[in-house]
Amino acid sequence: MGGAASLSSTPLLGRAAQANPDQPAPQPQDDGDPAHYKPTFFNQEEYLFLYHACERLFPQDENGPGAQALGVPRFIDKQMNTPYGLGALWYMQAPFVEGPPELGYQLPYTPRDLYRGAITPINTHCLIRYNALFAALPPEQQDNVLHALESNTLRFNDIPGAAFFEQLRTNTLEGAFSDPAYGGNHNMEGWKMMGFPGARADFMDWINQEGAPYPFGPVGMPPKANPYSPAFQNDEEG
Amino acid sequence: MTSLFSRSSSKTLSSALRPLLMAGLGLLGLAGAALPTRTAQAADAPLPAGLIEEGHYQAILGDCAACHSQPGRPPYSGGMPFKLPIGTIYSTNISPDPVHGIGRYTEAEFARAVQLGIRKDGSALYPAMPYPSYARLSKADIHALYVYFQRGVTPQPVDPPANGIIWPLSMRWPLHIWRWLFSPSIQSAQHSTNNQFSDPVLARGAYLVEGPGHCGACHSPRSIALNEKAQTAKDGPLFLSGGGVVEQWVVPSLRQENRTGLGRWSEQDIVDFLRTGRARTGASFGGMSPVIVHSAHAFKDDDLHAIARYLMQLAPARKETPWVYDPTTAEKLRHADLSQPGAQIYVDRCAACHRTDGAGYGSVFPPLAGNPVVMTDDATSLIHIILAGDSTHALHTTPSAFAMPSFADTLSDKEIADVVSFIRQSWGNNSKGVKEGAVRRIRKNLPQLETPAQLPKN
Amino acid sequence: MTDETSPPKRPDVLIIGAGWAGSIMAKELTEAGLTVTMLERGHDHSTAVEGTYPSSIDELRGAVRKRLFQKLSRTSLTIRNRPDQTALPYRQLAAFLPGEGVGGAGLHWSGCHFRATEDDLRLRSATIERYGQKFIPKDMHLQDYGVTYKELEPFFDKAEKVFGTSGEAASVRGQKTGKGNIFAPDRSDHFPLPPMADTFSASVFRKAAAETGYHPFSIPAANASQPYTNPYGCQMGPCNFCGYCSGYACYLYSKASPNVNILPTLRRDKRFTLITEAQVLEIMLDDTRKKATGVRYADLKIQSEKTLEADLVILSAFQLHNVHLMLVSGIGKPYDPVTQTGTIGRNFTYQTITSSRIWLPKDRFTSQFVGAGGAGVAIDDFNQPGFDRGKAGFIGGSPIWVNQAGLKPIAAAQGSGGKGEPRWGSAYKSAVIDQYRHSFGIDAHGSNMAYRDVYLDLDPTWRNAYGQPMLRMTFTWKDNDIRMNQYVVKHIGDIAQTMGATRIGLNSLQQGQPFDSRVYQTTHLNGGVIMGENPKTSALNRYLQSWDVSNLFVIGSSAFPQGMGYNPTGLVAALAYWSAYHIRRTYLRNPGPMVSA
């Protein structure tokens, strides 16, 4: 869990945060850094790929921390052990037939399958093409690989590059902005960047303040609500 | 503030009292079972129309089910456990079963038990059975009640679980002395209650509150000998001026104190509260909720108004500067000033339902600003409900119920102490703050929280 | 409520589906003294569990992982754009989000609570009267409901009082109030609650729309603007604009749902039994095929099949499932798009909706996380009956509104970028943050007409977990509706200019653009078991009684002959009360067809 959900919220003047982007982002601990985080689903090589690919999609910059500092790779690793990761939320009956994109996802692969099936071949591709694993490439080359995936010019083990890319992008954004209890959005830094107040859910005084910034920092779910506990997930599976 | 007792001694006595008093109930039914005499049931005799219904209503007024009906057991078969230091005892079967219940009680024996606390075998009941209040019941009401318990209730041939009390603690003879000292005779009880008011509505209110409703059992202070220090309006300002702390809930005053009593409640507020467990001015929680659920919500409209009118003429027991809404806190919160300790917690976890102005939302989410239970000298109730959460109840008078979640896992002792102090000192509330230690003590004795299956369904 | 472990062996009425339609019917029919057993495929749902504060305030679990929605792993449907394509399974929830469990979609809806316009209910007749028969495009199945606004008015009113709807009446018993939607038809009473407050974005839109010459009004919202007790005694809390309506159980009890507004009284009624985790597989018929005898269902608690019999069957599942159950039960004749015969699956329609976006200067914060699902400001100038379609050249119309329902950051991030803008990297990140803080959306929420080759039938290939063929949807955007959308969106641009937008991102449908099942549209699916006056072109008579099986009533938006500009729930509820009224008044006294075919 990382116990990242913080109970106390951090007062933050939205305007001030907006105006002072130079303020250094706090350096979080236990952020899912491969040096000390032990993944539960991914192997080390896969996790290293994830760790660097996410950061390219959502990089640290003047707006604030990127996917690595937010714990996004850790979030994705944890999600692989949920009904979602196992594909239990999707209709997965055969036959699987390719069709026009408008008719939606038609692959026989669960989120786990997509990651497991694509990461190693992408690394192999990087080795052949650039003589290094994805994680070791300079950012520009990493971006080239990601663009090739996004535009579907790369395809591995019957997994279209675009399908993998969309999976990765979707999960990266989820990890950046979901409650810290899930393992990402470390210290609610993702929410602070957006100016989102989290789980406070009371805007009676703020329905219309004529465009003034909302003044309160975010608040997380209760620290003991472990969303990876079976009790929490039961109703998700139905 | 009571003049006779310090807060702490009163609390200790009262929390000890409730289980002790309940023990008496355990003995009533045993007596019936132990002494087989002729059956009192005059079965098949024709009854005046409506008498059983009237008796049923009397049982609701007296809230007999509160102690004698236990979820999961047949109605009125007892079995409610009362955990005492001397062992667990169980309330008894008061259904008309001749062996296991009170089927062999004559009407006179029944009246003597209900009104004087003397069992069929002549021994005394623990004063948990509120017979000093029931002594005020009219002969007609006792008759209806008797008929109901003999003819309107299904006999249940079951025993509650066996008690485990060891001699000499099980001796009952000292209770006779208590009874002789503090329990009124039927005549004097009825005389003192019935002759206070010429207004028939107030007289009815006095009868209901002092008699079957036995409000004083919890809401009046008790002396060192555990007797209620006042039993009627005539007995002076201690009557219904607030009891001690029972099961970590503070029992508030029902008199007209401006801040900590019903001084700012209208007649309709009191009626709404008793009928539905919720009013514009506050919602029922803790120990009062079962009273609403089993008893008060089913009172007739006239009776509810009589009770309200009667309560509203009880002069304040303490002088309090009138509560006036102070907008300072709300203004500060609206302008994002969270400098007051506890303000951040309040905004993050409480304001969603109770609002930054403390006004709550009508009878759905109760106000904290000016709510008497928030301002009682002892903050135990407020701490308790934040830790444990609570729900109002679905009733035929109000099918919706509302749940407040437990914050035991969400907030630390320090945070709860801060937010409780914040609530007690904002919006014109002026009670003293609380310390972390108080929260820790209450947390240690927290009862089992409601499970999802027990929560309201709406 | 009678314990579901010992339901009556043979209730008077079986109700399939515990959403709004089913709950209204259950309430009405128990009031009539009947015993009612309601079957629901999902779990029971309550505010205290599904809406616990604050742990339900969780975007990932709610709207993203779709906690309260249909479990696709058990059953879905297939989709194609044209009849010559192979339809493929809808494997991931996206374009539309049917519910599952007690409350149905009525638990996780937003709360926009409209009536219908007078013309919506008789669109074919009104179009011919105004523009002539020739104005109706070939292959458009334009039809009347068979019931008028005037007939439905008392039931619209009743539904608003049950839902605790917040709004502003323009005309009550002929009296003009000078407020509200000036194009709305007359009402017998005011809304039970005053309108919801305007968010900042809605207030900006209100001002600009009025300045542009349009007629803004507060969207009628089944979000309580104040604490409320409805005629059943059920209480609602007040909405505090927390923004967790759509996709969530409202933790404040302030969004109307069957769970909060109707079921509390049913649960106290001995005549009522609720059986959850009961997936109905078939409505059983007798040998004449003209009478329903009961249902066959899968008891998911013990994984076995059961049957239940009753005198009267109410089918009130979600629109798609109503159609599916009619088809798999062999009731009525399936629609054939070639011969244009048969009625089940005919006139399937949707909602023609696009969202445009307006950016304000950097010193104005739109706080898009503040919101209420049903609240906002709308104009009806391009939806009201008097708007001249002859000149515009299309049938139908579209309200325009700012309906800030509470935008959460995952959805905001997923929806940013694309259409030439970066979808990842630093530039994307800056754009997401800017868009979240300073922009807001304006929707064109339009009608959707019925067409010969847009329909529902059974899929030949894919099956659900119970071995049944799944439903097959053949749907795409058609010329008339695309032109309507483009016309209306153009006017959003005018309003946006007036409000001083720094950037305007208009979004309209393009000719030839196929329906894309990957992008959320709305869950406003209609038709397939429609009501009408002619058994050749409708499955139900005007009382929502099956023409073929007279002791079967099919309640829901499945009865709409075409999709209207407004959200469907208000009309679903009114039709349910209308049908129940006539069942109580007429059918129960003399069971049998209430209209002769």
Summarize pLDDT for C23-77 with one digit per residue, the tens. 999 999 999 999 999 999 999 999 999 998 888 999 999 999 999 999 999 999 9
Q: What is the pLDDT of residue B370?
A: 97
Q: What is the pLDDT of residue B125?
A: 75
From residue B247, how far is each of A34, B165, B244, B447, C31 by CA, in Å?
52, 22, 10, 9, 42
Which residue among C49, C54, C260 places its CB closest to the CB of B452? C49
Residues of chain B with C-beta less than 8 angstroms from the C-beta of A15: none
Domain locations in chain A as residue ranges: 14-91+109-201+213-224
Q: What is the pLDDT of residue A231?
A: 66
CB-based contact (8 Å) between C240 and chain B?
A: yes
Domain locations in chain B as residue ranges: 7-182, 186-312, 328-454
DSSP C268: T
d(CA C557, CA C19): 12
CB-based contact (8 Å) between A128 and chain C?
A: no
To test the contact with chain C by mutation, choose from A93, A166, A188, A191 the residue with the greatest count of C C-beta atoms within 10 A, namely: A93
Q: Would you call B347 and A223 a contact, using CB atoms and an 8 Å cutoff?
A: no
A residues 157-176 lying closer than 8 A (beta carbon) to C: 169-170, 173-174, 176
Q: Would you call A93 and C243 a contact, using CB atoms and an 8 Å cutoff?
A: no
Residue A99 CB neighbours (<10 A): 15
d(CA B175, CA C6): 48
Report the relative pairing of strands C469-474 and C77-80 from DSSP bridges.
parallel
- Please check the confidence at residue B77 and state whether its pLDDT lies above 90: yes
Measured in degrees and rounded to the nearest 5, phi and psi for residue B217 equal -55, -35
- Please check the confidence at residue B33 and state whether its pLDDT lies above 70: no
Summarize pLDDT for B224-269 with one digit per residue, the tens. 777 888 899 999 999 999 988 888 999 999 999 999 999 999 999 9
Residue B34 CB neighbours (<10 A): 11
Distance from CA of B455 to the nearest CA of C (A): 6
Closest CA to B13 of B174, B251, B240: B251
Instruction: Write out the H or E segment, with its range, that includes residue A49.
Output: helix A44-57
Segment B106-111 shows an average pLDDT of: 95
Instruction: Give the nearest chain A residue to B405 (CA atoms).
Output: A222
Summarize pLDDT for C119-172 with one digit per residue, the tens. 999 999 999 999 999 999 999 999 999 999 999 999 999 999 999 999 999 999
CB-based contact (8 Å) between A211 and chain C?
A: yes
- pTM for the model: 0.92
Q: In what order do the strands lie in the sheet with C304-309?
A: C278-285, C292-299, C304-309
Banded model confidence at residue B80, pLDDT cuts 50, 70, 90: confident
Summarize pLDDT for C291-346 with one digit per residue, the tens. 999 999 999 999 999 999 999 999 999 999 999 999 999 999 999 999 999 999 99
Distance from CA of A60 to the nearest CA of C (A): 8
Distance from CA of B409 to the nearest CA of A (A): 6
Largest CA distance in chain A: 59
Which residue among A11, A201, A223 places its CB closest to the CB of B352? A201
Distance from CA of A224 to the nearest CA of B (A): 6
Which residue among B355, B361, B398 places its CB closest to the CB of C233? B398
Q: What is the pLDDT of residue A30?
A: 59
The stretches of C439-534 forming alpha helices (DSSP H) are 479-498
Distance from CA of A91 to the nearest CA of C (A): 4
Instruction: Give the nearest chain A residue to B345 (CA atoms).
Output: A8
Averaged pLDDT of chain C: 97
Closest CA to A182 of A171, A195, A193, A196: A171
CB-based contact (8 Å) between B406 and chain C?
A: no
Summarize pLDDT for B51-60 with one digit per residue, the tens. 999 999 999 9
Chain B: partners with 3+ C-beta pairs within 8 Å: A, C
Closest CA to C167 of C377, C9, C456: C377
Q: What is the pLDDT of residue A16?
A: 33
Residues of chain C with C-beta less than 8 angstroms from the C-beta of A88: 73
The stretches of B4-100 forming alpha helices (DSSP H) are 7-34, 51-62, 64-68
Banded model confidence at residue B31, pLDDT cuts 50, 70, 90: very low
Q: Which amino acid is at A119?
A: I
Interface B–C counts its CB contacts (< 8 A) at 80
- Please check the confidence at residue B167 and state whether its pLDDT lies above 90: no
Strand boundaries in C209-351, DSSP class E: 217-218, 228-229, 235-236, 272-275, 278-285, 292-299, 304-309, 312-315, 346-349
Interface A–C counts its CB contacts (< 8 A) at 213
From residue C139, how far is each of C136, C142, C453, C473, C558 by CA, in Å?
9, 9, 8, 18, 20
Q: What is the pLDDT of residue A103?
A: 98
Handedness of CA B80, B84, B87, B92 (dihedral sign): negative
Residues of chain C with C-beta less than 8 angstroms from the C-beta of A63: 426, 429-430, 433
Calculated CA dihedral for residues B9, B11, B16, B19, nearest 10 degrees: 160
Which residues have CB under 8 Å from B59's CB, separation 6+?
Answer: B65, B145, B148, B149
Instruction: Give the nearest chain C residue to B400 (CA atoms).
Output: C234
Q: What is the pLDDT of residue B85?
A: 57
Banded model confidence at residue B168, pLDDT cuts 50, 70, 90: low
Contact yes or no for C464/C75 (Cβ under 8 A): yes
Q: What is the pLDDT of residue B176?
A: 66
Q: What is the pLDDT of residue B130?
A: 87
Which residue among B391, B394, B456 places its CB closest to the CB of C268? B394
Instruction: Give the nearest chain B residue to A219 (CA atoms).
Output: B348
- Please check the confidence at residue C79 and state whether its pLDDT lies above 80: yes
ipTM of the assembly? 0.95
Give me the residue label for tokens 């000149």.
C391
Q: Is C524 a catalytic residue?
A: yes
Residues of chain A predicted below pLDDT 50: 1-28, 236-238
To test the contact with chain A by mutation, choose from B332, B333, B338, B348 the residue with the greatest count of A C-beta atoms within 10 A, namely: B348
Summarize pLDDT for C224-256 with one digit per residue, the tens. 999 999 999 999 999 999 999 999 999 999 999
Measured in degrees and rounded to the nearest 5, phi and psi for residue C424 equal -160, 170
Segment C386-402 shows an average pLDDT of: 97
To test the contact with chain B by mutation, choose from C235, C244, C265 the residue with the greatest count of B C-beta atoms within 10 A, namely: C235
Q: What is the pLDDT of residue A119?
A: 97
CB-based contact (8 Å) between A102 and chain C?
A: yes
Residues of chain B with C-beta less than 8 angstroms from the C-beta of A205: 333-334, 356
DSSP string, B127-191: TTS-HHHHTT--HHHHHHHHHIIIIIS-----PPPPP---TTTT--HHHHHHHHHHPPPHHHHHH
Grouping H, G, I as helix, E, B as strand and the rest as coil, residue C156 is: helix
Instruction: Give the nearest chain B residue to A218 (CA atoms).
Output: B348
Q: Which amino acid is at B300?
A: K
Contact yes or no for C227/B363 (Cβ under 8 A): yes
**Domain B328-454 CATH assignment equals 3.60.20.30:** no
Domains plus CATH for chain C?
A: 13-587 (3.50.50.60)
- Please check the confidence at residue C223 and state whether its pLDDT lies above 70: yes
